[in-house]
Amino acid sequence: MLALITGITGQDGSYLTELLLEKGYEVHGIVRRSSTLERSRLNQFYGDTGVYEKRLFLHYADLSDTTTIRRITNKVQPAEFYHLAGQSHVGLSFEIPESTCDLTAMGSLRIMEILRDLPNPPRFLHASSREIFGTPGISPQDELTPINPNSPYGCAKAFATQMTKIYREAHGLFFCNAICYNHESPRRGENFVTRKVTLAAARIKLGLQEFVSLGDLDSARDWGYAKDYVQAMWLMLQQESPDDYVIATGESRTIRDLLDIAFSHVGLNWQDHVKIDPRFKRPADAHELLGAPGKAVKQLGWKRSVTFEELIHLMVDQDLKSVSRP
């Protein structure tokens, strides 16, 4: 089986790559060319002569580079296409709305057009987001919850999500949306609040910093483990028919909960080390988002492997190791 992944160097892309390689896939990834070759999430593969350039291949392209993506896709002829790439930071999307919409919305549409033209279009998964629901009046949210985004990122994802559904219904393509709620891991970027907190707990414990600045501590999210979520993505493309699924834990936790679990794990009181900074409060923020994963559990046989507490402990422990390493 042959798969092509956009966003392969990201958190989800690296875990998906591991999963597919374990299942015997040949994996191709699209990466942006930059002045640095640092792709730490894939480091474990570069030195493996039995994998890199044997079963794992990287190709250079940008989501705005339609010609190159078409050339790569025509050459690879994947059976499965996982579209994970895009500007994925909600808060940052208010600062760069144009590029967010170009990459996340139009970039997705360009890929769909390329796939539609292939003689044998691959099964396609679009990594959607709970941000498409904005500030919902229904809790928990499921696949039938009205789409009503309240951020440029959410709006771009809503467009790509709707287009995925349109291509599935209008052209008979095996196109799916994985409507993912927040999913974290030790590979999460440091500009996301979960990793910001776990890294701060580790650094403060080791005496490398004293405070961490945050925004709204009462904001609540449905946080899961990224490794579990890519398993759901794979399962979606193994079904007899394409569909959309909410991938979530069904459990909502606040940033205060996150702080308490992370700091208590290293024997600290978070209230001694947190400063509130209005700059980190978003112009429009959904206070509580909670997903209903019942459809994925029933139809895909999917379930999460760790609790929220276990996930945060895992992240803190890894940050302690990485920070203390010379």
Residue type, 58: L
Cα distance between residue 317 and residue 128, in whole Å: 29
What distance in Å separates the CA atoms of residue 102 and residue 91, rounded to the nearest whole number?
A: 17
CA distance 136 to 159: 17
Q: Which of 25, 131, 167, 184 is catalytic?
A: 131
Q: Which residue from 224, 291, 270, 173 is spatially nearest to 15, judged by alpha carbons? A: 224
Q: Is 113 a catalytic residue?
A: no
131 a catalytic residue: yes
Q: How many CA atoms lie within 13 A of 116 on its CB side?
A: 15
Angle between helices 11-22 and 226-236 (to 10 degrees): 60
**Phi-psi category of 86—alpha, beta or left, where left has phi over 0 and alpha has psi -120 to 50?**
left
Is-catalytic flag, 153?
yes
The encoded tokens of residue 75 equal 């050459």
The tokens of 38 are what? 């640092």
Residue 22, H or E segment = helix 11-22
Q: Which residues, listed in sequence order, are joined to residue 83 by a DSSP beta bridge?
A: 6, 126
CA distances from 285 to 29, 66, 256 (A): 33, 33, 16
- Write down the catalytic residue from 129, 151, 219, 252: 129
Q: Exactly one of 15, 82, 153, 167 is catalytic; which is it?
A: 153
Active site residues: 129, 131, 153
